[in-house]
Amino acid sequence: MVRINKYLSEAGVCSRRGADKLIKEGRVLINRNLAFLGSVVNEGDEVQVDEIIVRTSSKKILIAFNKPRGIVCTTADPKSKDTNIIEYIGYPERIFPMGRLDKESEGLILLSNDGDMSNKLMKARNNHEKEYEVEVNRPFDDVFLKGMSEGVPILDTVTRKCTLKRTGKTTFNIILTQGLNRQIRRMCEYFGYKVVKLRRIRIMNIKLGNLKLGAYRNVTDKEYAELIKGLR
């Protein structure tokens, strides 16, 4: 017996919060009866979302994808002309992105069918590290690096302290432990700089490495075990 939102999350349909939204919209059925918040699924029950039967999978999938610029990480929208990440990859089983990269950014993003893992990874309070390579539109000084690292007022809050390392006159690496909307771009804009290239190269222990742009790979058993350990 499991709550319906957890069932949909584990089946890779969406997050638990997304499942609650589907339930409120009347799009979820259990044994052809309308589900409600708090409904439970028992062994042998038939669950449908938009008349499509949903089944959980015992096989956990976790892939690393090197997202190109121009690909969006939201769910498919028939009204949008943007290429969706799921459509782009064309994976044979149901998976979803664990977090997001904005349309103009590229680099590492993880995709899985494990909703619980995704929820743990995306919880800001867990302080999971994500590392990025950044290029801005003009040379910067050490005052910029210090200001960025100590916290920047954006989106009605102040960003957490973070680690920066200069890699060139206009380039640096930054390690964040939170994921505010377009955070790095907004942080740079606060100091009068514009990001011209942004690439994520690491999520916790998973590294982008030499994975080709637009390609994906299965996360190794060792990487998977370390990631799970880090999410506890």
pLDDT for the residue 79: 66
pLDDT for the residue 232: 72
Domain count, the chain: 3
Residue 102 annotated in active site: yes
134 and 155 share a domain? yes
185 and 147 share a domain? yes
pLDDT for the residue 95: 86
pLDDT for the residue 74: 74
Q: Which CATH number is 221's domain given?
A: 3.30.70.580
88 and 135 share a domain? no
Query: At residue 61, what is the residue type?
Result: I
195 and 135 share a domain? yes
Q: How far apart are CA 190 and CA 166, in angstroms?
A: 18
Q: Which CATH number is 174's domain given?
A: 3.30.70.1560
pLDDT for the residue 124: 56
66 and 172 share a domain? no
Q: One of 45, 50, 82, 102 is an active-site residue; which one?
A: 102
Burial label, 179 (beta-carbon count in 10 A; 0-12, 13-18, 19+): middle
Which two structure tokens, joined as six digits, stand for 137? 């539109």
118 and 211 share a domain? yes
48 and 138 share a domain? no
pLDDT for the residue 77: 61
Q: 185-210 pLDDT, tens per residue?
A: 999 999 999 999 999 999 999 999 99
Q: How far apart are CA 228 and CA 223, in angstroms?
A: 9
Burial label, 130 (beta-carbon count in 10 A; 0-12, 13-18, 19+): buried
**CA–centroid distance for 28 within its chain:** 24
pLDDT for the residue 15: 75
Q: Which CATH number is 37's domain given?
A: 3.10.290.10
44 and 135 share a domain? no
pLDDT for the residue 138: 98
Expressed as residue numbers, the domain containing 23 is: 2-54
Question: Which residues, in sequence order, are CB contacts of 174 under 8 Å at separation 6+?
Answer: 131, 132, 134, 148, 162, 163, 164, 165, 184
Angle between helix 221-231 and 115-122 (nearest 10):
60
pLDDT for the residue 59: 76
List, for the chain, all residue ranges whose pLDDT scores fall below the cut of 70: 57-58, 75-79, 124-126
7 and 114 share a domain? no
Q: Is the dihedral of CA 226, 227, 231, 232 positive or negative?
A: negative
